[in-house]
Amino acid sequence: MTVTATSVDQSGQLQSAPTARGNRLLRLVPAAASALCGLLLYVSFPPRTLWWLALPAFAGFAWVLRGRSWKAALGLGYLFGLGFLLPLLVWTGVEVGPGPWLALVAIEAVFVALVGVGTAAVSKLPAWPLWAAAVWIAGEAVRARVPFRGFPWGKIAFGQADGVFLPLAAVGGTPVLGFAVVLCGFGLYEAGRLIAERRRGRTVRRAAAAAALLSVAVPVAGAVAARPLVSDKAEDGTRTVAVIQGNVPRSGLEFSAQRRAVLDYHVRETLKLAADIKAGKAPRPDYVLWPENSSDIDPFTNPDAATVINGAARAVGVPISVGGVVEKGGRLLNEQILWDPAKGPTQTYDKRQVQPFGEYLPLRGLVGAVNKNWTSMVRQDFSRGTEPGVFDIDGAKVGLATCYEAAFDWAVRDTVTHGAQMISVPSNNATFDRSEMTYQQLAMSRVRAVEHSRTVTVPVTSGVSAVIMPDGRITQKTGMFVPAYLVQKIPLRSSETPATRMGILPETALLVVAAAGLGWAIGAGVRRRRSGGA
């Protein structure tokens, strides 16, 4: 005789053991789905052009969160954050090992977990996709500011450089672009849920159906309506610009150990450009842009560095923007130096948003107690600059946002509000080898080009260097870890997009919407509990 083991469920009914195990497995489905949706969101980011995968990623995220308790939402949100950020930020551990990478992801995923709680809370409200999308942007806003002055990497907008929603960057910057994508994804889920309800014979309110439809239609219609804001027409004439990628002796954290070699490589590529100009193989530029850290030897205190830079400037016959590491008054600065062929250094810009754990070390004592090697990598902290960077090069206003600064809305915007007619993002990605980091950063620059309607050049030590038109198109780019130069005539523009004019206002408005939705949800919950108690 065969005996089947049984258990008793909460209703008092007998349940076979295999069925009980099956139910336990079913309870794991939301957790697995949440992590997989986060992974799907990662796949939507560069270097892939699968921007549209962000929509099903958020639709799936809505499915696992809707109606959950705050504890369940916290865990599911954290899993979504891990699925998204673990692969997205893997480049942070390329040279220093998995410790810092895992620590960064563990902290950043907490913000996503809190967004999950907020999303679950507002998911019971009418027109909930609106409130939930605003909650997501609120989470991005906080993450871009804390801790250590923020880490905006992974903003939804930065995955949309190839997408149909991109023109919305000109309307309200990265907050509006990201909001539209998240709203559309949540709206797709809500529309599918209501269709399923209708097929089961249940009544679907017209207001709910209209809200779901508008959640999908409005972002798409808005993107189409915003297309006239995107233009690459020259408003203040044109300039011919040259971008130099000198390459480095080797990748990794020790790329700068041969600092003179890095400088010499950029001088050599500039001299090659000068020779090609003389031979008629390349047009003469109006100015030349070198990348960040192209001269880690301080040219103000090292005459040999000044001599070779001066020689390159004289050979090409136009000013060069040099990325240098300089020390002034005991302060270490990541500085862009405009080097004139006749006058030498004339203008400077000091990087303002320096990178924590890369250019300065927060909590140095604690970090040193964990691993002394990490403190040795950042022996002296870089100081922050205080003024926006705009070089006036014979009447052309060139805005500067050095590398990491491209991720921060304010650091790019205030170059334009201070008169920049084009933007340059000098960068050094050699530390991160051939990882996806350089492509993620390039996508940021494409979004910034549309956001402010400016040409953006990206000179990088080891690639990918590029020229980006104000409509976000890449017209020229280099490979990685190859010496190269790019020369192109670009439009100068001085008009301001709505995003430039409004600045932080769209993000502030979305924060207010998120707060209103959360307040409504909390109030409704309190009323339900009081009613139940009565």
For the purposes of burial, counting CB atoms within 10 Å of the CB of 193, is it exposed (0-12), middle (13-18) or buried (19 or more)? middle
**Contact indicator for 156, 54 with CB cutoff of 8 Å:** yes
**Contact indicator for 413, 371 with CB cutoff of 8 Å:** no
Cα(308)–Cα(297) distance, rounded to whole angstroms? 11
Half-sphere exposure of 105 (CA within 13 A, CB side): 22
Cis preceding-peptide flag for 47 (omega within 30 of 0): yes
Give the closest residue to 333 by CA, choosing from 322, 324, 342.
324
**Contact indicator for 391, 338 with CB cutoff of 8 Å:** yes
Q: Is 292 a catalytic residue?
A: yes
DSSP E strands, 27-161: none
For the purposes of burial, counting CB atoms within 10 Å of the CB of 377, is it exposed (0-12), middle (13-18) or buried (19 or more)? middle
What strand order describes the sheet that includes 287-289? 344-350, 331-340, 320-328, 287-289, 238-245, 484-491
CA 359 vs. chain centroid, Å, equals: 19
Cis preceding-peptide flag for 147 (omega within 30 of 0): yes
- 246-257 burial, b at 16+ Cβ within 10 Å, e below that, comes to bbbbebeeebbe
Q: Considering the candidates 108, 190, 269, 292, report the single residue annotated as catalytic.
A: 292
DSSP state of 529: H
Phi and psi of 398, rounded to 5°?
-110, 115
Q: Considering the candidates 403, 405, 436, 477, report the single residue annotated as catalytic.
A: 403
Q: Is 403 a catalytic residue?
A: yes
Cis preceding-peptide flag for 367 (omega within 30 of 0): no
Q: Is 351 a catalytic residue?
A: yes
Given phi > 0 = left and psi -120 to 50 = alpha, else beta, which region is 354? Answer: beta
Beta bridge partners of 288: 242, 320
Q: What is the dihedral of CA 478, 100, 98, 71, to 10 degrees?
A: -110
Tokens (6 digits) for 258 = 């041969």
Q: Considering the candidates 155, 269, 351, 451, report the single residue annotated as catalytic.
A: 351
Catalytic residues: 292, 351, 403
